[in-house]
Structure 1
Amino acid sequence: MEHQFTKKIIEILEKNFGERARDVFEKSSLLQYLNIKTRSATRGSKARGSFANLYAIYVLVEDYISNGFDEREGYEDYEGAQFSAIFNRQRELPFGAKLQNHALNSRMNDEYKKYFKTSEFIPILRNLETKKYWINENLLKIRFHDVDFNIAKTVVDIIDSYVSAKQSAFQNFIDTCEKLKKIHERNSSEVESFIYSLLGVNIDARVFEIVSFSILKTFYKDQTVFIGFSIDEIKEHNLILYKTGRTNANDGGIDFVMRPLGRFFQVTETLDVKKYFLDIDKIERYPVSFVIKSEDSIDDIKEKLEKAAKRTYSVRKVIKKYMECIEEIINIPVLKERLRKVVKEGELPEVLNEIIKHSKVEFNYEEG
């Protein structure tokens, strides 16, 4: 598979290996894996990045190089990298501040095996008792026509180049947002079109969650409810939507919560019924509103979920209870309709401000 960033990978290989660049690339399953994982480099900030699995490789290869094993023998006797050190290192890297341990522990290896089913090697080796980790050196040493090549520095160069491309794309995204803030008074339609473009099924999951939150927070903020412990204490309260954590974090949390109603919102891009019911189980079958990255109608989504539930669960009462816990389904058309209402209220700049603010937090962006 070749894409735009493949040219950059070959360029790096040519710099390091000259006329053998293509041979090394075709011989190395690890380089081919990097090629697969970097295809979003030139698709802009709205394309999903692959930092977790790439950084799992990066920190171990970096440790390999820092100990000089790319230029000497003896890695088979190395005591290994301490988990805490490489885990902290990946969080120091751009876009890595909130990465979890999943890629280091199994996810990266599992995905690698999915692409290279016949490979006799897996990239990451670990000792669960000592919490020590190694990169599989067999994947770093390439032998071609009786000549040995070590691709460790090339792996680091490729990932560095990919990260640089993603940083540049994100900087352009932020610059566009900031520019649109300034021209809003003159051309609000351009701002509106830009935000609509972020509500698509192919948009990065993190961007979709941020945009969804920004629209819904602004949509709800002028709506009020009356609450009190007695008739004399009833007061009017505005609905406030809070973002409860990082996007796409796999931390078992609920994405948004609304005060004072105590509504929970979960953002998803799947119609896997087990995922929905797992989210409901997390909070003991408390009702959840699902924000779904789908253009399907709400009726179609409900029908698909109910059909899948019937295939998975045999007890009708259980299925009914779970389905009743789906308080509301908010799909892409609903988000667009709510954005239109926000625009009519003249609050489009607030949506844009929320997008900028939460994007900077999510992508570990620091003002230059």
Structure 2
Amino acid sequence: MPIVQHEFTKRILEILNYYFPNRGDIVLNSSELLQYLNIKTKAANRGSKSRAGFANHYAIYVLVEDYLNNEFHIKGGYDEYEGAQFIQLFRRQRELPFGNKLQNHALNHRLNQEFKKYFPTLSYVPIIRDAKTNRYWINENLIKIYIDGNQINIAEAIIDIINAYVTARRQAFNEFMIYCQQMIDIQQQDPLRAIEFIRSLLRPNIDARVFEIVSYAILKEYYGDQKIYWGWSLDELNAEYLILYKTGRTNANDGGIDFVMKPLGRFFQVTETIDAGKYFLDIDKVQRYPITFVVKTDQRTEEILVKVEEQARARYNIKAIVSRYLECIEEVINIPELIERFNSVLERGQGGAVIQEIVLQSRIEFNVESETQDILIYDDTVQ
């Protein structure tokens, strides 16, 4: 399969070239396990739209670490090894940065299942498990590879690649925490300055978590001033203000919808991409229920819709299918539109409510997020 190219691929090649001078790209192309890690490290240097998933990385990490600790890369004999105990591997996973909430799924089946999806014709899977003894091995066939007839061992490089990925993810998350703390501190010192700070956060390269928090706070207050009338008969109408609810943690990779509006039942999804596949996947999740997309871009909404339609026609080539999906895009809200709505809220004198909501959501992320606890504990690269 073709090698996925992204920003962290450069770092992977740097590490491989360190261990195997001038052959990094050849090693990467020769190893399915390295290619899998390349796919799984795509989010390293982005603003972390999705919460970093370390389960599969760490399942590989702890088994390769056990392999190296026992010096099988030097002295051999791994085929006679009794295997690592599950409880030791599981405990080690939870000692690692971001790992204190990990479950056993990756070690037991999830990593192997996902690996097969990417390499369906390969006869090897990364983890070998003896269910009777509850012992585990990394598949040495994926650790030892042959290049030009010579065998090389990539175990040490794998550890360094995962370490580098954790470091990159920590940096991205620390930047998010800094934004949260800045919002809290500025609001306490100078509310007017906080409003300008919020405006400065509405830009395409802002951390995706910050963007979701800010966009939610603005839209919640913007819609909160709007009222609808409804009832079971014309004689009995109820007046109700629109309320926007967050449905989960900020940018959680939970497959759900980000905001829901009551009583209209509108769905909102925050995204940083203009990708028809992603939009249509979100639409399919809710059985083609209409969705409003809040997009972290300065591009005009008309341009976004044209691009989505072009991608959709190229992918499906069936007008009826494309039309059904496009009809489910209820509205597109870009950054300029968010700014306009924020200005509207400020004109009503409700800027303070936006600030309070941002502070509230930031405090939730800052104080409760389990990843924060890990960052405070682990300041160095995985050891």
TM-score by length of 1: 0.67
**Structure-2 residue corresponding to 1:356:** 362
Please show how residues 37-76 of structure 1 align to structure 2 within 5 Å: 46=47, 51-52=52-53, 55-66=55-66, 68-71=69-72, 73-76=76-79
Q: 1:342 to 1:48 in 2, by over 3 A?
A: same
TM-aligned CA deviation for residue 337 of structure 1:
2.1
2:305 to 279, 302, 307: 302
Q: Output the CA distance in 2 between the equivalents of 1:98 and 1:333.
A: 39
Are 2:334 and 1:328 aligned? no
Are 2:224 and 1:221 aligned? yes
Kindly indicate whether the alpha-carbon contact (under 8 Å) linking 1:9 and 1:35 is maintained by their aligned counterparts in 2. no
Identity of aligned residues (%): 42
Q: Output the CA distance in 1 between the equivalents of 2:189 and 2:297.
A: 32
**Structure-2 residue corresponding to 1:365:** 372
Which amino acid in structure 1 is aligned with residue 365 of structure 2? S
TM-aligned CA deviation for residue 220 of structure 1:
2.5
Q: What is the count of residue pairs matched by the alignment? A: 349
**Structure-2 residue corresponding to 1:16:** none
Kindly indicate whether the alpha-carbon contact (under 8 Å) linking 1:244 and 1:255 is maintained by their aligned counterparts in 2. yes
Q: Output the CA distance in 2 between the equivalents of 1:36 and 1:167.
A: 18
TM-aligned CA deviation for residue 309 of structure 1:
3.9
TM-aligned CA deviation for residue 356 of structure 1:
0.9
TM-aligned CA deviation for residue 196 of structure 1:
4.0
Q: 1:85 to 1:295 in 2, by over 3 A?
A: farther
TM-aligned CA deviation for residue 328 of structure 1:
1.2
Which amino acid in structure 1 is aligned with residue 362 of structure 2? I
Are 2:315 and 1:314 aligned? no
Kindly indicate whether the alpha-carbon contact (under 8 Å) linking 2:228 and 2:239 is maintained by their aligned counterparts in 1. yes
Q: Output the CA distance in 1 between the equivalents of 2:249 and 2:51.
A: 16
Which amino acid in structure 1 is aligned with residue 327 of structure 2? E
Please show how residues 97-176 of structure 1 align to structure 2 within 5 Å: 97=101, 104-105=111-112, 124=126, 135-137=138-140, 140=143, 152=155, 155-156=158-159, 159-160=162-163, 162-163=165-166, 166-167=169-170, 170-171=173-174, 173-176=176-179
Which amino acid in structure 2 is aligned with residue 75 of structure 1? Y
Which amino acid in structure 1 is aligned with residue 309 of structure 2? E
Q: Output the CA distance in 2 between the equivalents of 1:214 and 1:245.
A: 14
**Structure-2 residue corresponding to 1:17:** none
TM-aligned CA deviation for residue 262 of structure 1:
0.9
Kindly indicate whether the alpha-carbon contact (under 8 Å) linking 1:218 and 1:351 is maintained by their aligned counterparts in 2. no
Q: Which runs of 5+ in 2 are unaligned?
A: 377-383
Kindly indicate whether the alpha-carbon contact (under 8 Å) linking 1:48 and 1:203 is maintained by their aligned counterparts in 2. no
Are 2:294 and 1:291 aligned? yes
TM-aligned CA deviation for residue 194 of structure 1:
4.1
Q: 1:200 to 1:148 in 2, by over 3 A?
A: same
Which amino acid in structure 1 is aligned with residue 111 of structure 2? L
TM-aligned CA deviation for residue 298 of structure 1:
1.3
Q: Output the CA distance in 2 between the equivalents of 1:248 and 1:180.
A: 18
Kindly indicate whether the alpha-carbon contact (under 8 Å) linking 1:62 and 1:156 is maintained by their aligned counterparts in 2. no
Other structure's SS at 1:266 match: strand
Kindly indicate whether the alpha-carbon contact (under 8 Å) linking 2:143 and 2:153 is maintained by their aligned counterparts in 1. yes
Other structure's SS at 1:184 match: helix
Q: Which runs of 5+ in 1 are unaligned?
A: 14-19, 114-119
What are the superposed Cα offsets for residues 280-323 of structure 1, whole Å, 9 maximum, x if unpaired? 3333332211222332211222223334444424344x544433
TM-aligned CA deviation for residue 259 of structure 1:
1.4
